[in-house]
Structure 1
């Protein structure tokens, strides 16, 4: 029988060889504080709706694995900068995918590492019971990582590590092996409120509390019409938002290039906007299917492309947007194109909006067209 202390050291050493940058061990006890926090989030309607499982499943590990005695938490660092960054210009604007969507889908990258780790543990302890998850599982990756000493939970609700800042992907593994737990890391935010002050929509209500319904990272992934108050604030973001991480002092000079599969492809993570309007489903999948930003499909990305063109008042996209408004079968896309044409505000845009309004039979799209025309009249 392998001694647990020796096994832990062996796992720590092996983890480094398979591309795991930090590993920590925690108990499988109930996350009592987290449970209360989630209940409060639910009461305030601050949840995104993407959460998996009930509050009990998300905070009681043994509901997921009755034999669980420990949780192994892993972190993999990812880049924060590109070696060569394409620049958008007037007439040739570009969008941006958040850093968490650079390289291959991190769910794939972390699952591969967790699978290898699981095989290693099972080889050492054949009767080990294991259940792994990455992001889409019930457990909160951040709560587990905090308990396991990977880093502290910052006011921006990200796990912040001393070595890599908050630019880390997280995953975990429940197991019946009773590992000696690691100690949590002391909070490092202090009196700093830079992330709260910088959040474009005020989504960080207070240190450690996020209203996901106002968070741009969440809003870019929704599929419906975006509420008016957020449309300009999204800027040229196509998927996700990095603002609260970019401004964090812990992330200053943190830029990890350890894993080739996580390196950004500049033309994909900062794509030209106008060509994005005309991608078929197949073309979209072929181009972006390996990225985590693909998971919600083409529609929200294209909606965000249209918002970005309106944000820039990009007159060179006028013909493209008119074609989208007149021909696209999706009401959200037609209506958002109308909004952007209103922002561009040319005579041609006004004429196209008036003609399209006469034929449009979708109530929300009609509303968008009327609003766009009214805004142009005010100008």
Structure 2
């Protein structure tokens, strides 16, 4: 078997099916990544969404019988939308990060990996393949870096020379002895713009992220958002693009190669008020195809309430009062109470005082007190 020719054939086929970049890596254990993951765990910097077994995340032989190589792919996604809707007083809007634009990227990358796998197995029928995207065992970023897709930036994203960091990653382990590509040199240099711009200081140092402080993670949690972060997330409903948008390597990077990735402006930048009243069915119908919907409507609604507080949107007070009084979920009721205090005004204050006498849940009562404290501070000022 001429594996050099097979590699070239795979590269050519990948271009035909719309894979923007492909690279090849050895299947040796990722020793350096293992050390990083252990350190992350020791420091308590993990999000909890990761695959639990560190050894399986760094050693392909533990999840695949006799691996010989790994093929990594990247799909470029858009960074700008045409005619984005603008929020205004009375019609405030939230924002989904770019990685949630269009159809769920897990589905899109898996489709490309499946096409590629079918082609390879047609060429070499005895080929064994295991593909994964994001939620698989291996660390996508480590594989992409070894395969020469890009270098690992200080913002913990893979940065490609061609598309910046606006790429989705996926990989497949194979039993084929394909020649590995050379990793790229780090091109971040002395730049620290991403570290300096991180709203919560989640990038503790170059290449090290405290996921517990990362807005991309925080917007996906389902409990009360810690107080210190409520003023940091702004109108973000899901995810955060700050460390990518400030990166000089992303300047001018905007690619529209895949129609399924194109954003629906009214969905990725939706009006906030209607989000407060969505049923589960309505949420799935509107947002269900997006990667940003995977945690359900609760985090999105909580974040929408915080966004209204961020804007101090007085036109939404009556809706927030209704949420505080009628929603069955303590996190949503309590966040609405906090938001009412943040927005202020007599209607909000009256509603909080009434709720204080009726509410039974301790966590919600705590948020009502926080809301009322804003009025005390206002009087003291």
| 8 Å contact kept, 1:220–1:300 | yes
TM-score (norm 2): 0.99
5+ residue gaps, structure 2, are: none
1:322 aligns with 2:321: yes
Which position in structure 2 is the counterpart of 1:260?
259
Query: Aligned to 1:53, what secondary structure does the other structure show?
Result: coil
Which position in structure 1 is the counterpart of 2:146?
147
- How far is 1:179 from its partner? 0.5
| 8 Å contact kept, 1:150–1:184 | yes
- How far is 1:53 from its partner? 3.2
What's the CA shift string for 1:155-184, capped at 9, x where partnerless?
000000000000000000000001000000
- How far is 1:66 from its partner? 1.9
- How far is 1:341 from its partner? 0.1
Which position in structure 2 is the counterpart of 1:373?
372
TM-score (norm 1): 0.99
- How far is 1:95 from its partner? 0.3
- How far is 1:357 from its partner? 1.3
Which position in structure 1 is the counterpart of 2:9?
10
User: How does 1:1-379 map onto structure 2 within 5 Å?
Assistant: 2-379=1-378
CA RMSD in angstroms, aligned pairs only: 0.6
| 8 Å contact kept, 1:67–1:129 | no
- How far is 1:374 from its partner? 1.6
Query: Aligned to 1:170, what secondary structure does the other structure show?
Result: strand
Query: Aligned to 2:25, what secondary structure does the other structure show?
Result: strand
Kindly tell me the number of residue pairs found equivalent between the two proteins. 378
Residues in 1 aligned to 2:370 and 2:48: alpha-carbon distance in whole angstroms: 29
More displaced stretch, 59-68 vs 74-83: 59-68
Query: Aligned to 1:6, what secondary structure does the other structure show?
Result: helix
What's the CA shift string for 1:56-104, capped at 9, x where partnerless?
0000011110221100000000000011111001111000000000000
- How far is 1:17 from its partner? 1.1
| 8 Å contact kept, 1:48–1:212 | yes
5+ residue gaps, structure 1, are: none
What's the CA shift string for 1:25-48, capped at 9, x where partnerless?
000000000000000000000000
What's the CA shift string for 1:174-222, capped at 9, x where partnerless?
0000100000000000100000000000000000000000000000000
- How far is 1:359 from its partner? 1.1
